[in-house]
Amino acid sequence: MSEVSNAGVDVEEEGGFSRRRVVAGVAWSLPVIATAIAAPAAAASPPPISATAALVNGAAPQYSKIGGGGTKYGGTAPATISLKNTGTSSFTGTVSVTIKLTPVGTVLVGIGVESLSPATTSAAVSFTQHASTTSFSYTGTIAAGQTQNFTILYNYETVNPKPSAVTYSFVMTTSVVLTANAGGSLSLTPTASPNPTIQF
């Protein structure tokens, strides 16, 4: 799932680890609607899994840079994944999310996703030629009509020397898979991609 939002960024250094807070931005979302019928269980067939997923500019998302640096950066990026149960029954199971950030053109530093709260990291961020991939898992119940939000905390790849007076752009691709405990799964894969940027 993927979209774009513009926002300002403020950075504070804390012991060599800088945190950027994205302040007021224009809220947006591009819903992706998908429905899958769960596979029959041994005793009874579970209800259909139905959901919408969107990437939105949430309240006070944060960026962080691993390795310190003390320089203020600006940037734009989506902040929150919003997952709504549009079915008539509660969803109980696991939500798996994989987020990929791919550079546009030549860059000297990558951007990754450090956390997706309240999900837990199932595969830590890894960088390959400044492209990153991170996977997350969340197990719980989303009641009918309820929305579960996941706040994204980004990080920047540590490089030396640090880029200066440049702007790098990335394409963000997010896939979401819901797997019901009773059986059956639903994949949400939006067609649009956000384009996060880092300004050094």
Any domain includes 108: yes
Any domain includes 38: no
Domain that holds residue 160: 7-30+49-199
Taking the CB of residue 43, how many other CB atoms lie within 10 A of it?
7
Any domain includes 37: no
Phi-psi region of 42 (alpha: psi -120 to 50; beta: other; left: phi over 0): alpha
- pLDDT tens, residue by residue, 56-101: 765 444 556 654 444 556 677 787 888 999 888 899 999 999 999 9
CA nearest neighbour of 48 among 12, 85, 9: 85
DSSP string of 6-41, one letter each residue: -EEEEEEEETTEEEEEEEEE------EEEEEPPPP-
Total residue length of the chain: 200
- pLDDT tens, residue by residue, 119-159: 999 988 888 999 999 999 999 999 999 999 998 888 888 77
> Cα–Cα distance between 93 and 72 in angstroms, integer?
41
- Residue 34 pLDDT more than 50? no
- The total number of structural domains in the chain stands at 1
Any domain includes 43: no
Distances (CA, A) of 85 to 71, 94, 148: 41, 13, 8
Q: Which residues 6+ apart lie within 8 Å of 70 measured at CB?
A: 13, 18
Q: What is the pLDDT of residue 94?
A: 95
Q: What is the pLDDT of residue 12?
A: 41
DSSP string of 92-137, one letter each residue: EEEEEEEEEEEESS--SS-EEEEEEETSEEEEEEEEETTEEEEEEE
Any domain includes 118: yes
In eight-state DSSP terms, residue 161 is S
CA nearest neighbour of 81 among 199, 175, 198: 175
Taking the CB of residue 70, how many other CB atoms lie within 10 A of it?
10
Q: Please indicate, yes or no, whether the overall pTM of this predicted structure exceeds 0.75.
A: no
Any domain includes 35: no
Any domain includes 41: no
Any domain includes 66: yes
